[in-house]
Amino acid sequence: MFTESNEMELKREYTKSYLKTVSAFSNERNGKIIFGVTDDGEIIGIEDDIKIRHQIENAIHDSFNSTPDFELETKMIDGKKIVILSVFRGRAIPYLFKGKPYMRTDTSTFIADDFRVSRWFQEVLNIKFEEMLVDDEEFTYNYLAYELKENMGLTKFSEDTLITLGLRKSGKYTNAGRFFADVNSFHFGVDIVKFGANHSQFIKRLRMTNQSILKQFNEAMDFFDVYYHDYEEIVGKTRVNRVRIPKKSFREALANAIIHRDYQMNANIQIEFWDTHIRVMSPGGLTSEITVEQYLNGGVSIPRNAIVANIFYRLNIIEILGTGIARIKQEYLPFSQSPKFKVLSNIIEIELPVISYDKAGVSDRRMAEVLTLLEKGSASRAENQEKLNLSASITKNILASLALQNKIERFGKGRATKYRLL
């Protein structure tokens, strides 16, 4: 029922060590501290909940420079009382315990550095790093202008374009303007390594810095195509298209990393290419506006870098703002493997497994959905794709798999090609 996390701490009994976590939650995000529960989630209960609630309330009022916002409640579970302390992120940041600000990473609480405190101030004051102005730099935007022309038909690229996109303001470039410039002073970008059998075997490396993040995105996608392009396999007498890693899933993971990364952190987006998987690691955890649960559920989120997200959306790199995680999961639905997600305070990690067709690559559930659809009559690949909300490549794999099992047959030619039950 209870598991320690970024937003929850469990305490077997009352000790004042929890006050560090009160500082962390007040500084960063809403959280709960639950008394009467062991570290592994076992409910042992509290005998005198009234006494503990008074102790908690008095300690909080006496221990901080500014009193954090909190609530206390007692709950009865399986005949045992537990005390729940809910702490809410405040605006009087930083909340200091014994003169020190605390932050939380995963299940640990520790002293925050100056960089983290500075970022808290920016969030509370609603100051976005990408909107800050850059002094004494001049940029060119040939790459961005080309992409806007190719994808949006924009033929005239001017200062008004930069202002509209949020790349220039008050006669100066913004940090977002710096990120999209052809050549810039931002020394941290995307670092991709193709490994062999272990971390000691470097097959190839691509490190991209001081250049437009659009160029970094496109070159990373080209790098992906070298190692994970689709292939064909002869199964019986049929030529079947195979997917190593769904390209849209990598595209979304890469775009997600660029859009949501913390550009104030001196770190690259790290991407590891392995024979069995891809791992994408983005500097910076989630913003305070979204919880880990909301992120993993794939709901619409608030991007840390709204200007970057808006330009990627205009260029059709992403389809709908904030739905990247849902799309990554969707691309893997027909297969036995699933993507993995790890969210820590300073990093977000996405792992995309290579599809193994020796493990029944297409899921029984998806095949059953196609068969149910075809019970109503024949349908083309495009009709199956649209009605089941799948990508073209995944729909092809499902139809090919069902044909190999002699459950459906293909008839017609060209655009008139359809599928029906046998």
Question: Under CATH, to which class is 190-358 assigned?
Answer: alpha beta
Note every long-range contact of 333-342, with CB atoms under 8 Å and residues 24 or more positions apart, other chains counting. 333/363, 333/366, 333/390, 333/394, 334/361, 334/362, 334/363, 334/366, 334/390, 334/394, 334/397, 334/398, 335/361, 335/362, 335/363, 336/360, 336/361, 336/363, 339/249, 341/295, 341/296
Q: Where in the chain is the domain with CATH 3.30.950.30?
A: 8-124
Q: Where in the chain is the domain with CATH 1.10.10.10?
A: 362-421
Q: Is 80 exceeded by the pLDDT of residue 336?
A: no
Contact 321, 303 (CB under 8 A): yes
pLDDT for 155-174, tens place per residue?
A: 899 999 999 999 999 999 99
In angstroms, the CA 77 to CA 64 distance is 32
What's the mean pLDDT in 109-130?
80
In angstroms, the CA 146 to CA 157 distance is 9
For 362-421, CATH number?
Answer: 1.10.10.10
* Domain spanning 8-124: CATH 3.40.30.10: no
Q: What is the mean pLDDT of the chain?
A: 88
Q: Which of 167-181, 289-303, 399-413 comes out lowest in average pLDDT?
A: 289-303
What's the mean pLDDT in 120-138?
80
Q: Where in the chain is the domain with CATH 3.30.565.60?
A: 190-358
pLDDT for 194-248, tens place per residue?
A: 999 888 899 999 999 999 999 999 999 999 999 999 888 776 666 677 889 999 9
What's the mean pLDDT in 173-191?
94
Q: Is 90 exceeded by the pLDDT of residue 60?
A: yes
